[in-house]
């Protein structure tokens, strides 16, 4: 089925599985999770979690539903006891502290506003506990509501707000307290794409202004890529890979990571391994030039400035993103040769 030469004698470009240390050595470790295990009574949970998070860093836990993202966040916030291991902030263990004594603030997956309090009261509750003067409190609340784009809703009750508005109040409520570590559990899940984008920018801006450290949870890979300094890809209670967005995109450590982040063609090889190629690394080449595979065009879709085309190569369908001019004059059913600029083998 692979008619042309090239795959086997092509140089193996990327095969390193080790994670590159992303942070500069002089950065201060803010949050440290040491061999932490949290098992629920039914055996679910997370195991042997090790992670250093640096001051002022946005680290995202990314993984499918049920992989243990919330579990880790809740152990940091103090809402779950760890089964074993340790969690430290600024070098001090926090595992024995109740949530109210931890320097963390959490935005919960279920935006848990207090239903019997107005938006103002929801925001004021934590400030009152800190004995903030009234005028400063008013000012701060106004400023934060403006920041998340819901000014003038002070007197409404949560039940009178949309899901997205509630989520923004929840975000404002935790930012207001200037926590040194902010924990966000899928905080934008109820927002539409445009506001989601704005809120990402907002979180990034707030983070760099206040210099706080953020642990962010999402199952949206695009969100993780856009927002994070580093991403932790999780699978069934374990870390698959930790790295910067480009490290994870360019050098996925496993097939799982490769399939989870971005688009990827997986091509079974004769020796039982799998070759993985990103659609943008596939090029159409002229007859006679060196190529990796050939096949017939199944579909051509114009997606703005580039074209997505699916090519049937034997039993495999290869997705390619190509420039418009490169596919000029090529039609569905035509034979084409493909060259891979870069690939991985798992």
Ligand X SMILES: Nc1ncnc2c1ncn2[C@@H]1O[C@H](COP(=O)(O)OP(=O)(O)OP(=O)(O)O)[C@@H](O)[C@H]1O
Q: Is 67 in the site for ligand X (CB under 6 A)?
A: yes
The correct pick among 126, 238, 330, 345 for binding another protein (CB under 8 A) is 126
Q: How far is the CB of 69 from Mg ion (least distance, A)?
A: 5
Provide the 10 A C-beta neighbour count for residue 66.
12
**Would you say 144 or 219 has its CB closer to Mg ion?**
219
Please name the residue that has the structure tokens 């982040």: 261
What is the Cα 230 distance to its own chain's centre? 9
Which residues, at least 6 apart from 274, have a Cβ–Cβ distance to it below 8 Å? 255, 266, 267, 268, 345, 346
Q: Give, in degrees to the nearest 5, the angle at Cα 143 between 138 and 144.
A: 105
Look up residue 74 and give its two tokens. Answer: 């809740």
Q: How far is the CB of 122 from another protein (least distance, A)?
A: 9
- Cβ pair 141, 117 in contact under 8 A: no
d(CA 210, CA 39): 34
The correct pick among 70, 122, 207, 228 for binding Mg ion (CB under 5 A) is 70
* Adjacent-strand bridge partners of 336: 295
Q: Is 78 in the site for another protein (CB under 8 A)?
A: yes
Q: How far is the CB of 104 from another protein (least distance, A)?
A: 8
Counted residue by residue, the chain has a size of 346
The correct pick among 69, 102, 168, 173 for binding ligand X (CB under 6 A) is 69
Q: Is 109 in the site for ligand X (CB under 6 A)?
A: yes
Number of H helices, E strands in the chain: 8, 18
Q: Is 251 in the site for ligand X (CB under 6 A)?
A: no
d(CA 134, CA 330): 70
Q: Which helix (H) or strand (E) holds 76?
A: helix 69-77
Please name the residue that has the structure tokens 């490769």: 258
* Adjacent-strand bridge partners of 237: none
Which residues, at least 6 apart from 218, have a Cβ–Cβ distance to it below 8 Å? 60, 61, 62, 69, 186, 188, 224
Q: How far is the CB of 217 from Mg ion (least distance, A)?
A: 6
Q: How far is the CB of 219 from ligand X (least distance, A)?
A: 5
The correct pick among 25, 43, 91, 98 for binding another protein (CB under 8 A) is 98
d(CA 169, CA 154): 10
Name the binder of 243 from ligand X, Mg ion, another protein, none, CB < 5-8 A by kind: none
**Would you say 44 or 81 has its CB closer to ligand X?**
44
Binding mask 153-172 for another protein (x = CB under 8 A): ----xxxx------------
Q: Is 106 in the site for another protein (CB under 8 A)?
A: yes
The correct pick among 6, 19, 79, 312 for binding another protein (CB under 8 A) is 79
Q: How far is the CB of 100 from another protein (least distance, A)?
A: 5
Binding site for ligand X (CB under 6 A): 40, 42, 44-45, 63, 65-71, 109, 219
Binding site for Mg ion (CB under 5 A): 70, 109
Binding site for another protein (CB under 8 A): 77-79, 98-100, 104-106, 108, 110, 112-117, 125-126, 129-130, 157-160, 173-174, 177
């Amino acid at each position: 089925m692979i008619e042309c030469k090239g795959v086997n004698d092509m140089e193996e470009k990327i095969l390193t599985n080790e994670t590159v240390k992303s942070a500069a050595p002089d950065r201060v470790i803010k949050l440290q999770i040491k061999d932490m295990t949290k098992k629920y009574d039914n055996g679910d949970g997370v195991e042997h979690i090790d992670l250093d998070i640096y001051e002022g860093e946005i680290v995202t836990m990314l993984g499918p539903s049920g992989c243990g993202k919330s579990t880790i966040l809740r152990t940091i916030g103090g809402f779950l006891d760890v089964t074993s291991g340790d969690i430290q902030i600024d070098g001090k263990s926090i595992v024995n502290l109740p949530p109210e004594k931890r320097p963390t603030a959490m935005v919960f997956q279920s935006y848990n506003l207090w239903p019997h309090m107005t938006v103002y009261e929801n925001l004021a509750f934590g400030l009152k506990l800190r004995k903030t003067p009234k005028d400063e409190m008013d000012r701060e609340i106004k400023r934060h509501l403006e920041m998340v784009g819901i000014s003038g809703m002070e007197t409404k009750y949560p039940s009178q707000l949309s899901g997205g508005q509630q989520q923004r109040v929840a975000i404002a409520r935790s930012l207001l307290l200037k926590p040194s570590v902010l924990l966000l559990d899928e905080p934008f899940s109820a927002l539409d794409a445009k506001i989601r984008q704005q809120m990402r920018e907002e979180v990034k801006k707030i983070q760099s202004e206040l210099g706080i450290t953020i642990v962010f949870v999402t199952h949206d890979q695009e969100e993780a890529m856009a927002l994070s300094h580093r991403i932790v890809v999780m699978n069934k209670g374990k870390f698959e890979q930790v790295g910067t967005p480009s490290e994870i995109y360019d050098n996925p450590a496993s097939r799982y990571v490769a399939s989870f982040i971005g688009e990827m063609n997986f091509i079974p090889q004769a020796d039982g391994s799998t070759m993985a190629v990103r659609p943008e690394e596939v090029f159409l080449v002229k007859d006679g030039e060196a190529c990796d595979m050939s096949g017939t065009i199944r579909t051509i879709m114009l997606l703005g400035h580039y074209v997505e085309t699916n090519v049937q190569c034997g039993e495999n369908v290869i997705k390619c993103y190509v420039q418009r001019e490169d596919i000029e004059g090529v039609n569905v059913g035509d034979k084409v040769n493909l060259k891979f600029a870069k690939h991985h083998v798992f």
